[in-house]
Amino acid sequence: MAPVDLINDLRRVCVRYRAEGGLRTLTNAQPSQTLAYSPDYAVAPGATLRSTLASLGMTQSDLAIRSGLSLKHVNQIIQGAAPITHETALVLETVTGVSARLWNRLESNYRDRLARMQDRETLESNRDWLQALPIKELRQRGVLSNEGNAGALLQEVCRFFSVANRQSWENVWRQPLASFRKSQSFESDVAALAAWLRIGEREAAEIECEPFDARKFRDALQQIRSLTAAPVKEFVPAVVEICAKAGVAVVFVPEIKGTRASGAAYWLTPAKGVIQLSLRHKSDDHLWFSFFHEAGHLLLHSKKETFVTEDHSSAAAEDEANDFAGTHLIPRKFEPELRTLDSEESIRSFAARLGIAPGIVVGRLQKEGLLNWNQRNNLKRRLTFASE
């Protein structure tokens, strides 16, 4: 082959390389400005090898004989099914006269383009999932960063939920929660609820706990009952510490828009239970009832389930947990007297003798229809997170 033919062939190769995005292309605006070319297709270096062989008047069989490669391998390279390795690039340089550096660049560019196309396809297939998640709130809480493109966001979301991909998230979060939701009168958005629960999981994992002991936990509940009338700054750290010694991590996580959960109970490990509270109704009676309700789930029900409590949760397990909470706060033997309370003074006196906050008594009277929902609310304490 004449030297000029080889030069023309190399020019064609370089033009193809530019077209594949290996070199920058100029815009029509200013000569100094550049625009990265990002095609939505990938050209295998085998296409260049095919044209090179044609210009040399060489068949695939000829290349196989001259290179020592099998005919099958040569065909796979041309079809883009097999990569051009550094060793193969050196062989091709010897046989075709086209430098190994160029073959390596074409191969690298091809694999990079395939990876980017795959990332683009993955992002498109996950776009609706990302849009369904409460990304804005998670960013506001510092759980997700405020920077990065959509691809980086996808990776960050997977790290947050500790899953490899969307399908894993579906298996770990959506399917169990959707099943739970279907079996009850459940109103929370599954994606928002999963995010709220995951925040709680991460916080609970940071709390050091003794191995769970049911007897110690029951004893702990009696101690905590006496804290219901204590100031917030006292009872919050005390509850966390007392429960941790019995094997239960207690976390307070503000609700995420779309969730309607006042609390949840689940197990991080068979030896570590979690009570997660949202302060959804922002009053002490709801907080304490939710706490003892979730405690009931941990003591009475399966360690394999996650229990999420909403205002209108309806299931046998929820009824049992409600009964557990009600009788722990106001034992049954006091129920006849409870129904006689008709003044603020009598409510305060009754609460003092039981050693509980008066707001708990008011909440119970309202729940049983002995008071209207707008009566005696001055005896309840309003609770909010410091961030609100």
Instruction: Determine the Cα–Cα distance for residues 326 and 288; give it in Å rounded to an integer.
Output: 10
Calculate the alpha carbon distances from 321 to 113, 293, 324, 346, 348 in Å.
Answer: 56, 5, 5, 28, 26
Question: What is the number of other CB atoms lying within 10 angstroms of the CB of residue 184?
Answer: 16
pLDDT digits (tens, 9 = 90+) for 26-74: 334 444 444 444 555 668 888 899 999 999 999 999 999 999 999 999 9
Q: Name, in order, each residue with C-beta under 8 angstroms of 149's C-beta and a sequence gap of 6 or more.
A: none
- Three-state DSSP at 253 gives coil
DSSP sequence for 329-347: HS-GGGHHHHTT--SHHHH
- The set of residues, in sequence order, having a beta carbon less than 8 Å from that of 288 and lying 6+ positions away, is 228, 329, 356, 357, 360
pLDDT by position in tens, the chain (length 388) = 444 444 454 445 444 444 444 433 333 444 444 444 455 566 888 889 999 999 999 999 999 999 999 999 999 999 888 999 999 999 999 999 999 999 999 988 888 777 666 656 667 788 889 899 999 999 999 999 887 677 788 889 999 999 988 899 999 998 888 655 555 555 778 899 999 999 999 999 999 999 999 999 999 999 999 999 999 889 999 999 999 999 999 999 999 999 888 999 999 999 999 999 999 889 999 999 999 999 999 999 999 989 998 866 667 888 999 999 999 999 999 999 999 998 999 999 999 999 999 999 999 999 999 999 999 999 999 988 876 6
Query: Please, are residues 356 and 366 in contact by the beta-carbon 8 Å criterion?
Result: no
Q: Which two tokens stand for residue 356?
A: 């509980």
**Other beta carbons within 10 Å of 9:** 20
176-209 pLDDT tens trace: 886 555 555 557 788 999 999 999 999 999 999 9
Domains and CATH numbers, the chain: 3-120 (1.10.260.40), 167-379 (no CATH)
- CA 68 – CA 74 distance, rounded (Å): 10
- Please list the residues that pair with 26 across neighbouring strands: 34
pLDDT at 312: 64
CA distances from 65 to 68, 82, 97, 115 (A): 5, 18, 16, 33
